[in-house]
Structure 1
Amino acid sequence: MTASTTAGADRSTAARTADTHDAKVFAPAANPAAAIVGCVIGLLLLGVVAMAIRDLLVHIGWLSGSEWTRDVAVRVADLRWSNWMWPVAVALIVIGAAMIWLAGKPRRRTHLSLKGYEVMWTRRGDLARRCSTAVSGLPGVDHATTVVGRRTVKVRVTVTGAADLEDIDRVVGDVLAGIDAPLRATVKPVGRRSGDRA
């Protein structure tokens, strides 16, 4: 395949993956931080609903006993300010501020954007597998393990004496060149131990 053919294929792929939607397309992201808190609050509200249903059954005579919601309302109405309420008030203020912060906290991006494409992303785990696969195919490389963090890519390579470390660095750099993110690669070569199998 000639250079012009490759360039034409790249342009064709970029055209097919261009953003054709009028609205802004957001990168894939994790669930909102407030989702867990929302689920907990939802479960608590279900408990309140169960208590209300129980009190309704007591009110119409299907169950015996006192109405819990009325008892709670009477006790709250009879409360007077006490010193033990200060820590409770402070704790509620802190919890409320934390919930507001969680509601506005930006979601963590789960994918990395591919360079040259508007709406194509890859996961960090897939990028790690690409690095490991590319490095494992080089002469003198027995095994490669890659960990992709937020800003760094750490590649641990089990090599023999015939491995070319500059070639390994180049291959890792070629893989990362397709990612639109400032990732810094660190390659750690490790010699194969005498007890390991070839």
Structure 2
Amino acid sequence: MTDVDTGGPGTLVIKERVISRVAVAAALTVPDVVRQVGGMSRLTGRDLPRADVSVGEHSASVNLYIAVQWPSRISDVAHAVHDEVARALDEIVGLPLHRLNVVVAGTSPRSDAQSPISENTHPVLRPRPPTASPAAHYAAVVLAVALLGVAFVAGREFLIVHGTIVGAPWIANTVEWIADLHWATWMIAGAAGLISVGSILVGMGLTPRSKTHTGVRSPSSPSPMVWLRPTDVARMCSDHAGNVPGSESVRTTVTKKKVTVEVRRVASGDDAILTESVRDAVAPVLAVLADTRKVRVRLLHPSGVGETRS
């Protein structure tokens, strides 16, 4: 990975797998480049296209393995892939491409052999956004521990029956205790509790995963190539707003529908000018996001009195 100096407080860390995913997504926008995940690739996880990335101080080198439709003019496809990957890395990551080696590692027959060579016939797949862990994750862990407990009890009973160990059988005693039970009022509360727990578990199992990232758009691709956490967006906004003259410190909060930029100014002045300057500073960051958000700028004067501008 590489650290890019943003000119403000802190650094922006770009991991190699981010560059790899950007290169793969850019390659798929080229006509005649197809995704290939069948056969041994599905078992080994080495699907096509895939990229091996080496990041230097000011540039990146990529070995890109692709699958192309057959027949196709491979030299033209390689040049188009080079241009798209270079453009995507420069526009999205901000890192120039030093060298790109294109390796044609697979082919896929066209659905219509009479179609022109330059026609793109493969469907464009929209990537799935990153999501949080399922709501039933913790319930599954509890259930797994309970099943391990049942297995332990069953193994103990097996050893007692065969005389390997000596002890009171838990299962037999439990069955006898249940058989001797008679109706009691506490059973109503127990049944209601079990119904509530069962309903909660069913709801957790049916709850869809929540999105944890927001996509970044690119002029060369209709689908997001990079996904950012709200914290990443907030840091980028704070870094840009912190360069505005008159701002002493900046704190940004990002939600699914709103971006709040809280600016503590150095001295009193024209609030309208500072507010618009902050809006203009964070506009380039928010313009590339796939999800639009409302921007609010809150100014904190040296005295500590806050004023909100919508």
Please give the TM-score of this superposition, normalised by the length of structure 2: 0.53
Aligned counterparts, 1:1-198, within 5 A: 16=26, 21=35, 25-116=127-218, 117=221, 118=223, 119-161=225-267, 164-192=274-302
Q: How far does the alpha carbon of each residue in 1:128-166 deviate from its partner, in whole angstroms, 9 at most, with x for none? A: 000000111122222111111222211111222477321
Q: Structure 2 stretches of 5 or more lacking a match?
A: 1-21, 36-122, 305-310
SS of alignment partner, residue 164 of structure 1? helix
Whichever residue aligns with residue 174 of structure 2, its letter is V
Identity of aligned pairs, percent?
28
- Superposition CA RMSD, Å: 2.7
Q: How far does the alpha carbon of each residue in 1:4-59 deviate from its partner, in whole angstroms, 9 at most, with x for none? A: xxxxxxxx989717576566632100000000111011112212222222222222
Q: What is the alpha-carbon distance in structure 1 between the residues aligned to residue 231 and residue 247 of structure 2? A: 21
Q: What is the alpha-carbon distance in structure 1 between the residues aligned to residue 231 and residue 176 of structure 2? A: 57
Q: Relative to structure 1, is the Cα distance of residues 38 and 123 closer, same or farther in structure 2, using a 3 angstrom cutoff?
A: same
Q: Which moved more, 1:164-173 or 1:31-40?
A: 164-173
SS of alignment partner, residue 188 of structure 1? strand
Q: How far does the alpha carbon of each residue in 1:101-132 deviate from its partner, in whole angstroms, 9 at most, with x for none? A: 11110111010011345142111110000000
Count of equivalent residues: 183
Whichever residue aligns with residue 16 of structure 1, its letter is A
- Bigger relative contact order (CA 8 A; separation at least 6): 1
Which 4+ residue blocks in structure 1 deviate beyond 6 angstroms? 12-15
Q: What is the alpha-carbon distance in structure 2 between the residues aligned to residue 188 and residue 103 of structure 1? A: 40
SS of alignment partner, residue 132 of structure 2? coil
Relative to its length, the structure with more strand (as a share) is 2
Kindly indicate whether the alpha-carbon contact (under 8 Å) linking 1:143 and 1:157 is maintained by their aligned counterparts in 2: yes
Whichever residue aligns with residue 226 of structure 2, its letter is M
Q: What is the alpha-carbon distance in structure 2 between the residues aligned to residue 77 and residue 186 of structure 1? A: 66
Question: Counterpart of 2:57?
Answer: none
Relative to its length, the structure with more helix (as a share) is 1
Give the C-alpha shift of residue 82 in structure 1: 3.0
Whichever residue aligns with residue 185 of structure 2, its letter is N
Please give the TM-score of this superposition, normalised by the length of structure 1: 0.80
Whichever residue aligns with residue 156 of structure 1, its letter is E
Q: What is the alpha-carbon distance in structure 2 between the residues aligned to residue 14 and residue 164 of structure 1? A: 41
Give the C-alpha shift of residue 62 in structure 1: 2.9
Kindly indicate whether the alpha-carbon contact (under 8 Å) linking 1:141 and 1:157 is maintained by their aligned counterparts in 2: yes
SS of alignment partner, residue 131 of structure 2? coil
SS of alignment partner, residue 252 of structure 2? strand
